[in-house]
Structure 1
Amino acid sequence: MLPLFSPLVWLLLVCVLVQLYYVGYYFLPFARRAPEAAADAPDQPLEEPVSVLVCAHNELENLRRLLPLLLQQDYPAGFELILVDDRSEDDTYLYVQQLAQYYPHVRLVSVGRTPEGLSPKKYALTLGIKSARHLRLLFTDADCIPATNQWIRLMQRGFARPADLVIGYSAYAAETGFLNKLIRFETLLSGAQYLSFAWRGYPYMGVGRNLAYTRAVFQSTKGFASHIRSLGGDDDLLVQDAVQRGARAVVVAEPAAHTLSEPATSWGAWWRQKRRHLSAGRRYRLADRVRIGNFMASNVLFYGISVALLFSRPDWVPLAAVWLVRTAAVCTAYGQLGRRLDDPLPVGVLPFLDAVYFFYYLALGISLFLYRSLRWK
């Protein structure tokens, strides 16, 4: 039998208890929260005009898919669509200019060069925000599409709660293959954290594919000034700075307010994408790093300790019991979150995806520690 006084056994139990706390306090209550008002619900707050900003670098084919869907948004209060052409070498400029001839609310901001040492995307976004005519700003990426024609309306309602920041969810399209399922699992798990933490009053990040904030928020943080030379963080580090200066954040996570993206199609592309995203985490506030780190570390340690016990003890019954409790809890939480966010994964593969992801996460962490150089487009 596994000795109850074994330090590894006690540490394994502590890891499970930490995960059960996150499941019981953050994930399940968020998944079971009251539904948000539908787009056509009566007695909704008055809408205000909004500037929708998209930054693109050689994204012509994606823009041909995205921009018509943005122009079809049902938003009577009115919106302008600002496309920031960031040093594109394709026909992005000509395409947007043609649209602007037919749609007066389509505007083009061109970036010829990025000053030395600055993040290209942050510099491009700054120019786009400075040209915006409205006080509310809504952001997405060129490789995304809105889930419905009510996206703008539902995201803008978040400001009426009231709020200065509106944090949305962006899913990846479901395709065949294990990599696609793993990417969608990682997106769901990340969403479970930043959405439920913000819902509980601890906002720490958003995703630039579906994020809104006011011009006053951007001005209060002096734009991206604190991290303008870092490649990542045009979304999460902006949220960090804004919350630190008193900005109020709300979550809008109904499926009709989502955006959808095409996932990476190779392990290498996803590896580079995740390295860039995780690199910004070093600049998070200490409380946020502790809150996120406790959850991630408890999962990584759980698998590491389990492997050590599996190969060092002859009796696997206690270990199997701990695994069963932990697996049932996390699969229940992830299953309910997937259904609530309209991003479900087969329940039968959740335990396997969970294990693979946390070993992959450990490898990413080691990679960032050893090799910190990153590249942008």
Structure 2
Amino acid sequence: MSFYVSPALGLLLLSVAVQLYYLAYYFLPFARRAPEPTEGPTPEPVSVLVCAHNELENLRRLLPLILQQDYPAGFEIILVDDRSEDDTFLYVQQLTQYYPHVRMVTVKNTPDGLSPKKYALTLGIKTARYPRMLFTDADCIPATNQWLNYMQRGFGRPADMVVGYSAYAPEPGFLNKLIRFETFLTGAQYLSFAWRGFPYMGVGRNLAYTRQVFHSTKGFASHIRSLGGDDDLLVQDAVAQGARVAVVAEPGAHTLSEPVQTWGAWWRQKRRHLSAGRRYKLSDRLRVGIFMGANLVFYGTAIGLLFSPPNWVYLAIVWLIRTGCLSAVYARLGRRLDDRLPLAWLPILDAVYFFYYLALGISLFLYRTLRWK
């Protein structure tokens, strides 16, 4: 009895094979790697930079937690007040009276055509006293008082850049689960790829690099007029200049952010993030694009096979195998990153996310105008 594989079923099998390769080569080994050592090289002082635009309430929550970091080597906090119209200036001025290692840089205006955040960060970096710098956003908080300690250990690998993980706080509702899943999947990609020797991005909510790296890339010069990319495009430029990148993914090194509350706000946020991807080098675009494309092909082909009754049994078998492997690896990654989503929700979130991702891609192709706050 002959066995005939239709072109659609063959495409489905190929897409699943590609996904299983990524799971087996990148995600699962990264999830199973040994914990970071508790002892590291002799720590050095660090400059912690936060750029804020009308973020007073967030700063009231963040800055005390940074001040409470257990880091005997010493650190300074540089708050870049980027054109704020609230009482950020008064609040930080009060802190500087009690904490001499808190400093403020005030940005009154941004030159025409330049990215406001990149311009503000550049001014902050120029005033940093220490060669090692750690960056986070005003709407984040460190997960523990060991955040500084963990992140600086990455420099001792040795490395010139350290990429960390930044999760979103769990809240009720499907949107929150989807945001957390997207963040988790993005983190799984850039952390595991970097661990395998293919660093391509980081997130500004939890990123560290040296002053020498910033100078080697001429700062943000290659993309200073692009709104996004103060993190991932800088990593792209730094790697091109030979920078060594370390991954620090211990839960104690994470930062935690408050997610947006509406679908529209998340849509705008993701459009801004994805727009930077066009500037990635070709090998990185291919590595990320093949994984994302394989998932999209899987869902598109599976929907088509629903209208082919002779293939239903094969479709069901392939779907179960893929779902089982994917859920098992994602659950293991969730434990490794201490960012767990309900196991039963993973197949649903995976499907919804990739259709949402496809819609975002079409939106960016048709309408490329982006805005910054």
TM-score tier after normalising by the smaller chain length:
over 0.9
Shift of 1:311: 2.0
Is 1:255–2:258 an aligned residue pair? no
The percentage of aligned residue pairs carrying the same residue is 77
Q: Residue in 2 aligned with 1:144?
A: 140
Counterpart selection for 1:173 from 148, 169, 176 = 169
Aligned residues: 372
Is 1:34–2:34 an aligned residue pair? yes
Determine helix, strand or coil for the equivalent of 2:201.
Answer: coil
Q: Residue in 1 aligned with 2:127?
A: 131
The one-letter code sitting in structure 2 at the alignment partner of 1:218 is F
**Separation of aligned partners in 2, 1:60 and 1:347:** 37
Contact 1:174 1:180 in 2 (8 A): yes
Counterpart selection for 2:51 from 48, 55, 59 = 55
The one-letter code sitting in structure 1 at the alignment partner of 2:297 is L
Contact 1:4 1:10 in 2 (8 A): no
Q: Could you list the runs of 4 or more consecutive aligned residues of structure 1 that deviate by over 6 angstroms after TM superposition? A: none
Contact 1:145 1:261 in 2 (8 A): yes
**Separation of aligned partners in 2, 1:294 and 1:315:** 25
**Separation of aligned partners in 2, 1:225 and 1:313:** 56
Determine helix, strand or coil for the equivalent of 1:51.
Answer: strand
Shift of 1:315: 4.5
**Separation of aligned partners in 2, 1:333 and 1:125:** 37
In the TM superposition, what whole-angstrom CA distance separates every residue of 1:171-198 from its partner, at most 9, and x where no partner exists?
Answer: 0001111111111110110000000000
The one-letter code sitting in structure 1 at the alignment partner of 2:24 is G
> Does 315-324 or 362-371 show the bigger shift?
315-324
Contact 1:53 1:84 in 2 (8 A): yes
Contact 1:82 1:132 in 2 (8 A): yes
Structure 2 unaligned spans of 5+: none
In the TM superposition, what whole-angstrom CA distance separates every residue of 1:153-210 from its partner, at most 9, and x where no partner exists?
Answer: 1000000010000000000001111111111110110000000000000000000000
Matches within 5 A, 1:17-28: 17-28=17-28
Shift of 1:333: 1.0
In the TM superposition, what whole-angstrom CA distance separates every residue of 1:185-239 from its partner, at most 9, and x where no partner exists?
Answer: 1011000000000000000000000000000000000000000000000000000
In the TM superposition, what whole-angstrom CA distance separates every residue of 1:278-297 from its partner, at most 9, and x where no partner exists?
Answer: 00000000000000000000
**Separation of aligned partners in 2, 1:157 and 1:197:** 20
Contact 1:28 1:333 in 2 (8 A): yes
Matches within 5 A, 1:285-296: 285-296=281-292
Shift of 1:312: 3.3
Is 1:5–2:8 an aligned residue pair? no
Matches within 5 A, 1:172-321: 172-321=168-317
**Separation of aligned partners in 2, 1:4 and 1:191:** 39
Contact 2:53 2:82 in 1 (8 A): yes
In the TM superposition, what whole-angstrom CA distance separates every residue of 1:63-87 from its partner, at most 9, and x where no partner exists?
Answer: 0000000000011000010000000
**Separation of aligned partners in 2, 1:92 and 1:68:** 14
Cα gap change, 1:3/1:97 in structure 2, threshold over 3 Å: closer, same or farther? farther
Is 1:363–2:359 an aligned residue pair? yes
Counterpart selection for 1:72 from 68, 74, 90 = 68
TM-score, structure 2 length as denominator? Answer: 0.99
The one-letter code sitting in structure 2 at the alignment partner of 1:5 is V
Is 1:108–2:104 an aligned residue pair? yes
The one-letter code sitting in structure 2 at the alignment partner of 1:305 is T
